[in-house]
């Protein structure tokens, strides 16, 4: 069967179920540990600052391995990468639950991050293979709905588990879910078509070092690390990045998809994604400080007040997916980013003592705007690439999201360290400006130069 025609039913439904489960677990575990960090620090007899590595190790492992795993998917098949990622994630979840020290927990979280990268790196490529081409927007919308629900559910799920059980159960609950999903994935996901080319081992190493050093350097700038170490990391990242890009440009199907960046629609969609997710990352880090420190809300209230944004995205994601099958991505995403910028500006300009309703409708506007941007933009990244490069496009989609969120979080830390007064207002105002800038980039897609996927 031609991959553009998707999978037959009922295989398609089982395949949708298994990639939905994998995405839910990967996104949920990206944030679920945050809630338990104080408890983990106390139980493992370590400092709160040291326990941050429980979160950072997972995110760093995901970020540095997305593009290499996507390239492996292009060569050996997306099903193999996804299946192995699911197995590794399930085993690592069990190891996290069994950890008795910060070192063993951190190492298990690194392994879990590699498993999550296996799930996320080929997620978009599998959607492209599972759904008929005319339903691609719908498929991306369903995927966005799952991602938004898992993002919204993270703090609530963590709080519910910790209310009745110890922190290891945050990870142990993944094990039975993974054991259910593994056989479904093996049977339902599309069979691989092996491509006759070698995996670029040196390129994978350069990619991991470049992204790892870049993220570490940016994080060091934001958190006041030693200037000398920050400079060394950033300079090394630039030098290695130059070597990486030079190496990749000489290859017909590079691990880092520099060839796809020659496609105007793909490149503009990636740049739009980075800027938009910077705005989202800044907002997600800033809003808890605004609600708790400035407005005096409790942790429980803060969790509830953060929910309207991802919940609204989840509610409209499928609808915007259908719209993206009919209308240009430049129109839909630009409208969404303009609404997001307005919503963030409204949050920044809230009165000193707003009611719950006053907060909720503002964050819901942010979710409405982000939902209109996210699904069409993701579809554009996936479908503007040739079918044979679906893995590279999928990896780039996930990388642009994580990189944007990382930059956004680091920018918030930098603003907080420099501006002690009105830091939350400044941060949200910068996020609104970034959303507006992303909208301007998105509008550029309305011009000529679009190249259709092969």
The tens digit of pLDDT for each residue in 198-208 reads 888 888 888 88
- Greater model confidence, 454 or 266: 266
The pLDDT, as a whole number, for residue 104 is 93
Q: State the pLDDT at residue 20.
A: 87
pLDDT of 451: 45
CA distances (Å), origin 339, targets 246, 250, 333, 364, 424: 39, 41, 10, 11, 20
Q: Are 383 and 324 in contact (CB under 8 A)?
A: no
The whole-chain average pLDDT of the chain stands at 85
pLDDT of residue 2: 41
Structure tokens at 79: 């099903």
- Mean pLDDT to the nearest integer, 134-146: 79
**Residue 49 pLDDT class (50, 70, 90 cuts):** low
H, E, C per residue of the chain: CCHHHCCCCCHHHHHHHHHHHHHHHHHHHHHHHHHHHHHHHHHCCCCHHHHHHHHHHHHHHHHHHHHHHHHHHHHHCHHHHHHHHHHHHHHHHHHHHHCCCHHHHHHHHHHHHHHHHHHHHCHHHHHHHHCCHHHHHHHHHHHHHHHHHHHHHHHHHHHHHHHHCCCCHHHHCHHHHHHHHHHHHHHHCCCCCCCCCCCCHHHHHHHHHHHHHHHHHHHHHHCCCCHHHHHHHHHHHHHHHHHHHHHHHCCCCCCCCCCHHHCHHHHHHHHHHHHHHHHHHHHHHHHHHHHHHHCCCCHHHHHHHHCHHHHHHHHHHHHHHHHHCCCCHHHHHHHHHHHHHHHHHHHHCCCCCCCHHHHHHHHHHHHHHHHHHHHHHHHHHHHCCCHHHHHHHHHHHHHHHHHHHHHHHHHHHHHHHHCCCCHHHHHHHHHHHHHHHHHHHHHHHHCCCCCCCC
> pLDDT at position 51, please?
77
pLDDT for the residue 223: 65
Tokens linked to 191:
């069979």
Q: What is the mean pLDDT of residues 239-252?
A: 87
Q: What is the pLDDT of residues 323-335, one digit of tens each?
A: 888 888 889 999 9
For the ranges 124-128, 157-161, 387-391, 435-439, which has the lowest average pLDDT? 157-161
Instruction: Give the residue-averaged pLDDT of 418-444.
Output: 90
Tell me how far apart the alpha carbons of residues 232 and 210 are, in angstroms, rounded to a whole number.
12
What average pLDDT does the segment 115-124 reach? 89
Looking at residue 454, what is its pLDDT? 39
Query: Looking at the domain that runs over 257-454, which CATH code has it been given?
Result: 1.20.1250.20
Pick the range with the lowest mean pLDDT from 82-91, 251-260, 363-372. Answer: 251-260
Model confidence at 3, pLDDT cuts 50, 70, 90, reads very low
> Is 428 a residue whose pLDDT tops 90?
yes
Of 28-42, 64-78, 320-334, 408-422, the one with minimum mean pLDDT is: 28-42
The CA distances from residue 197 to 72, 128, 438, in Å, are 10, 22, 36
Mean pLDDT of the region 126-146? 81
Q: Which of 447, 442, 315, 318 is nearest to 380 (CA)?
A: 442
The answer to whether residue 270 scores a pLDDT higher than 50 is yes
Cα dihedral across residues 281, 282, 285, 288: positive or negative: negative
The CATH code of the domain at 1-199 is: 1.20.1250.20
When pLDDT is cut at 50, 70 and 90, the band that residue 192 belongs to is low
Label residue 424 by pLDDT band (50, 70, 90).
confident
The whole model's pTM is what? Answer: 0.82
pLDDT mean over 253-281: 90
Nearest to 138 by CA among 320, 315, 383, 321: 321
pLDDT exceeds 90 at position 370: yes
| Residues sharing a CB contact under 8 Å with residue 192, sequence separation 6 or more, in sequence order | 76, 77, 78, 79, 80
| pLDDT score recorded for residue 48 | 67
325, 134 in Cβ contact below 8 A? Answer: yes
Neighbours of 258 (CB within 10 A): 17
The band of 125, judged by pLDDT with boundaries at 50, 70 and 90, is confident
The tokens for 12 are 């398609």
Least confident piece of the model among 28-37, 49-58, 104-113: 28-37
The answer to whether 265 touches 382, Cβ cutoff 8 Å, is no
Residue 386 has pLDDT above 70, yes or no: yes
Percentage of the chain modeled with pLDDT above 90: 30
- Model confidence at 305, in pLDDT bands (50, 70, 90)? confident
Segment among 30-34, 50-54, 225-229, 436-440 with least mean pLDDT: 30-34
Model confidence at 35: pLDDT above 60: yes
* Mean pLDDT in residue range 275-287: 89
Query: Mean pLDDT throughout 363-370?
Result: 94
- Nearest Cα to 202, choosing from 239, 254, 260? 254
Residue 249 or residue 112, greater confidence: 112
> Residue 449 pLDDT more than 80?
no
Which one has a higher pLDDT value, 454 or 320?
A: 320
> Residue 450: is its pLDDT beyond 50?
no
């Amino acid at each position: 069967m031609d991959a553009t025609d998707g999978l037959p039913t009922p295989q398609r439904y089982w395949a949708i179920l298994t990639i939905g489960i994998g995405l839910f677990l990967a996104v949920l575990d990206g944030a679920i540990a945050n809630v338990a960090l104080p408890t983990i620090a106390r139980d493992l007899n370590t400092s709160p600052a040291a326990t941050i590595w429980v979160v950072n190790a997972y995110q760093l492992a995901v970020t540095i391995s997305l593009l290499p795993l996507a390239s492996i998917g292009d060569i050996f098949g997306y099903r193999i990468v996804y299946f192995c990622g699911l197995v590794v994630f399930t085993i690592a979840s069990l190891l996290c639950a069994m950890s008795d020290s910060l070192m063993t927990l951190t190492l298990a979280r690194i392994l879990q991050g590699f498993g999550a990268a296996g799930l996320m790196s080929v997620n978009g490529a599998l959607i492209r293979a599972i759904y008929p081409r005319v339903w691609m927007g719908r498929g991306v919308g369903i995927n966005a709905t799952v991602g938004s629900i898992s993002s919204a559910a993270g703090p609530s799920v963590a709080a519910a588990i910790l209310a009745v059980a110890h922190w290891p159960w945050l990870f142990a609950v993944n094990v039975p879910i993974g054991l259910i999903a593994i056989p479904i994935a093996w049977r339902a996901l599309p069979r691989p078509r092996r491509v006759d080319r070698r995996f670029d081992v040196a390129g994978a190493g350069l990619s991991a070092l470049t992204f790892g050093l870049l993220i570490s350097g940016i994080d060091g700038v934001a958190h006041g690390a030693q200037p000398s170490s920050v400079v060394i990391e950033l300079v090394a990242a630039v030098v290695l990045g130059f070597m990486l890009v030079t190496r990749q440009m000489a290859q017909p199907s590079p691990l880092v998809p520099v060839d796809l960046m020659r496609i105007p629609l793909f490149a503009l969609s990636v740049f739009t994604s980075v800027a938009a997710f910077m705005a989202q990352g800044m907002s997600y880090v800033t809003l808890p400080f605004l609600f708790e420190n400035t407005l005096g809300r409790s942790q429980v209230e803060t969790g509830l007040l953060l929910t309207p944004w991802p919940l609204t995205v989840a509610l409209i994601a499928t609808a915007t997916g259908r719209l993206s099958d009919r209308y240009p991505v430049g129109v839909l995403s630009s409208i969404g980013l303009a609404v997001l910028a307005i919503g963030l500006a409204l949050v920044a300009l809230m009165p000193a003592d707003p009611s719950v309703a006053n907060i909720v409708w503002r964050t819901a506007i942010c979710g409405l705007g982000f939902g209109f941007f996210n699904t069409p933009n993701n579809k554009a990244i996936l479908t503007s690439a040739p079918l044979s490069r679906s893995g590279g496009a999928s990896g780039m989609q996930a990388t642009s999201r994580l990189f944007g969120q990382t930059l956004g979080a680091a920018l918030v830390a930098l603003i907080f360290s420099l501006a002690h007064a009105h830091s939350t207002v400044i941060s949200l105002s910068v996020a609104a400006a970034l959303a507006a800038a992303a909208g301007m980039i998105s509008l550029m897609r309305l011009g000529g130069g679009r190249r259709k996927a092969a």
